[in-house]
Amino acid sequence: MPFKSFKKLDIPGIVLVEYTRFPDERGFFAELYKRTDFLANDIPYDFVQTNLSFSRRGVIRGLHYQLKPMEQGKLVYVISGRVYDVAVDIRKGSPWFGKYVGVFLEPGYALWIPPGFAHGFQALEDAYFLYLVTKEYSPQHERCIKWDDQEIGVQWPVKENVILSEKDKKCPPLREAETNFEY
């Protein structure tokens, strides 16, 4: 069995996936995505682009999303290292609007974040981060929310020496952010 579990988290739609490693004397093998298993667990999406990033300890990337019609669902993995991964509900009318789910991710786990959520993560140590997305990157549809928006209140684990891109330093709070998602 390639996947040990699909665990639904506090906000419907967000799913923590634990995959199985098949070790032998050479190392291990793991299936990171198998369409039939994801369909069986109510994740009916296919992926069109795969991204890889490397982040040093303390780096925060996000909170990012793309507007419709280029909205992205993301299946995210830590290849090495550890991160604190966050999904924020930005669907107008949702009972969870402005709430977030945060999980610690390390190799062996993935997080499914459907369209309608802003996504971000903080590297707790140097980390390689892989993500599969349901639509291609579209700069004109890309938006972001301030990483430390007090109304959302993400509790980032690493408080000292936070590293942000210039773009992420300029993101607006959620109440001023452009969104076109409905619940």
| Catalytic residue IDs | 64, 131
* Other beta carbons within 10 Å of 107: 17
CB 115 within 8 A of CB 70: no
H-type helices in 22-156, by residue range? 35-40
